[in-house]
Amino acid sequence: MNGEPPRLDGRKPLIALVGRPNVGKSTLFNRLAEKKKAIVIDEPGATRDRNYSDGSWFDRPFLLVDTGGFEPSSQETILIQMRRQTTLAMEEADIILFIMDGRQGLLPADEEIARLLHGIPKPVFYAVNKLDAPKHRDSLAEFYRLGVELFPVSAQQGLGIDELMDRVAELLPQGVPDGEEDAGIKIAVIGKPNVGKSSLVNRFLGCERAIVNPLPGTTRDPLDTPLEREGKKYLLIDTAGIRRKGRVSLTLEKYSVIQAIKAIDRAEVALLLIDGVEGMTEQDTKIAGLAVEKGKAIIIVVNKWDLVEKDNDTVGKYVKDIKDKAKFLDFAPIIFISAATGQRVVKILDLVEAVYLEYTKKVNTSELNRAIEEIVEKHPPPRVASRKQKLIYATQVGIKPPTFLFFVRDPRGIHFSYERFLINQFREAFGFKRVPIRIYFRKK
């Protein structure tokens, strides 16, 4: 390892895997990525095939990104792709795991990546993979030419991973500090490049009494930007990342998810910016998917509204188009703004307040069960295997997002469509209309 320990300021550290194709990055990724514990409702299919995940090593959580997974096929040479992926990791990651293939030996492309990584002020771990048996370790020798400490591993067999990750974990904080509680509602501004994120952030700063707090004695950008309006506090998350512009790698649309991943993780409300001229694109739904998957409240902010030619029904058509393209966002309110002119920018904060109220709302159990009884009476769950399903009891177990636990006779017997139905009824009955909610079924 070289470089200094990462400065995190309460962020979950981001670990990036870099290396040539076929060295075993995704194999290692799958080993380190968190396995999904529960079925989550409202999960967009778009993010299934992924190269980013939560992970943890014992009690130390991190975010994991496989940079190779971003460019599976392309006309460009592998070297160009790899350079870009490595640059991306160097800019965005807190810790880099560079994976090489011990069976193939040290190739010129590896040396090129190593040269890029050499001397960057971030920790880099050099792993030589596919050393499945002790006899393979002989091939380590040539890698010592790189002049760095090496970690022999077998991602497939799970060998050497402990040694590697124990060392990585020394740099990871235990848990995530929860010291931001009174900093206000945490807002992430997310979206693909050029959609207007930095314009919006600057607008917020310009039109509100913003308190930007440069850390005394440092020239470092503050990570987040506090904002105050009418006595209410907000914290714009990871604005340093948004304002730090002109980076080669991030001009690539597909890489913009990395910035979103980092910001979304700590946010409560995500402002998803859409380009009003382009409308909702696939990349937008991908980024939105990240926020939905993490259970964040989302506001769809259609920007550059000043550039859109309007007739009577422009808004209506827009809303329909968005709902059609991203069904999993049907709960998210939509606002049309112009960061350039400032139109309705302040209204975003009103919407944030309204959404946050729902996002943090608690319903008491007796009220909840009375309402459920009514719903179920009107529309009983379908019978499964001749046994009548009966919902026995429900309780709200969490907020952010509002989460409910239903006790039923046979959780497997609850059909997806009935779940949907319940969720919609729920939203209606309790005013959870503009936030994601989660419902888990448990056997009683």
User: Per-residue contact track with ligand GDP, 23 to 62, x per CB under 6 A?
Assistant: xxxxx-----------------------------------
Task: Please report, for residues 17, 90, 115, 143, the alpha-carbon distance to residue 124 in angstroms, rounded to integers and kept in the order given.
Answer: 10, 9, 12, 15
CA distance 435 to 44: 15
Position 304 contacts ligand GDP (CB under 6 A): yes
> Do 355 and 270 touch, CB atoms closer than 8 A?
no
Residue 405 phi, psi dihedral angles, 5° rounding: -115, 125
Position 225 contacts ligand GDP (CB under 6 A): no
Instruction: Please count the residues of the chain.
Output: 444
Q: In the bound complex, what is the minimum distance in angstroms from residue 21's beta carbon to ligand GDP?
A: 4
**Residue type for 252, please?**
L
Position 374 contacts ligand GDP (CB under 6 A): no
Residue 176 phi, psi dihedral angles, 5° rounding: -115, 125
Stretch that binds ligand GDP, among 140-148, 191-199, 282-290, 412-420 (CB under 6 A): 191-199
Among candidates 360, 290, 362, 301, which has minimal Cα distance to 328?
290
83 alpha-carbon distance from chain centroid: 24
**Residue type for 206, please?**
G
Stretch that binds ligand GDP, among 186-194, 259-267, 359-367, 382-390 (CB under 6 A): 186-194
Residues forming a β-bridge with 300: 272, 334
Stretch that binds ligand GDP, among 83-91, 178-186, 217-225, 298-306 (CB under 6 A): 298-306
Residue 90 phi, psi dihedral angles, 5° rounding: -65, -35
Stretch that binds ligand GDP, among 308-316, 336-344, 409-417, 434-442 (CB under 6 A): 336-344
Applying CB under 6 A, which of residues 2, 194, 369, 425 lies at the interface with ligand GDP?
194
Residue 59 phi, psi dihedral angles, 5° rounding: -90, 15
Q: Which is nearer to ligand GDP, 193 or 222 (CB)?
A: 193
Applying CB under 6 A, which of residues 207, 307, 357, 399 lies at the interface with ligand GDP?
307
Q: In the bound complex, what is the minimum distance in angstroms from residue 204's beta carbon to ligand GDP?
A: 12
Position 68 contacts ligand GDP (CB under 6 A): yes
CA distance 274 to 304: 9
Applying CB under 6 A, which of residues 1, 340, 376, 405 lies at the interface with ligand GDP?
340
Q: What is the DSSP string of 114-180?
A: HHHHTT-SS-EEEEEE---SGGGGGGGGGGGGG-S-EEE-BTTTTBSHHHHHHHHHTTS-SS---TT
Q: In the bound complex, what is the minimum distance in angstroms from residue 35's beta carbon to ligand GDP?
A: 17
Position 295 contacts ligand GDP (CB under 6 A): no
CB-based contacts of 212, cutoff 8 Å, min separation 6: 205, 222, 225, 226
CB-based contacts of 259, cutoff 8 Å, min separation 6: 92, 190, 238, 241, 242, 250
Site size with ligand GDP, rule: CB under 6 A: 32
Applying CB under 6 A, which of residues 164, 171, 188, 195 lies at the interface with ligand GDP?
195
User: Per-residue contact track with ligand GDP, 226 to 265, x per CB under 6 A?
Assistant: ----------------x-----------------------
Q: Which is nearer to ligand GDP, 244 or 433 (CB)?
A: 244
Q: Which is nearer to ligand GDP, 53 or 338 (CB)?
A: 338
Q: Which is nearer to ligand GDP, 157 or 213 (CB)?
A: 157
Stretch that binds ligand GDP, among 118-126, 188-196, 223-231, 428-436 (CB under 6 A): 188-196
Q: Which is nearer to ligand GDP, 275 or 358 (CB)?
A: 275
Q: Is 129 exposed, middle or buried (0-12, 13-18, 19+ CB in 10 A)?
A: buried
Q: Which is nearer to ligand GDP, 2 or 194 (CB)?
A: 194
Nearest 10 degrees: CA dihedral of 141, 144, 149, 151?
Answer: -40
Residue 196 phi, psi dihedral angles, 5° rounding: 115, 20
User: Per-residue contact track with ligand GDP, 115 to 154, x per CB under 6 A?
Assistant: --------------xx-x---------------------x
Q: Which is nearer to ligand GDP, 225 or 338 (CB)?
A: 338
Stretch that binds ligand GDP, among 21-29, 40-48, 84-92, 225-233 (CB under 6 A): 21-29
Can you give the binding site for ligand GDP, defined by CB under 6 A?
A: 19, 21-27, 68, 129-130, 132, 154-157, 191, 193-199, 242, 303-304, 306-307, 338-340
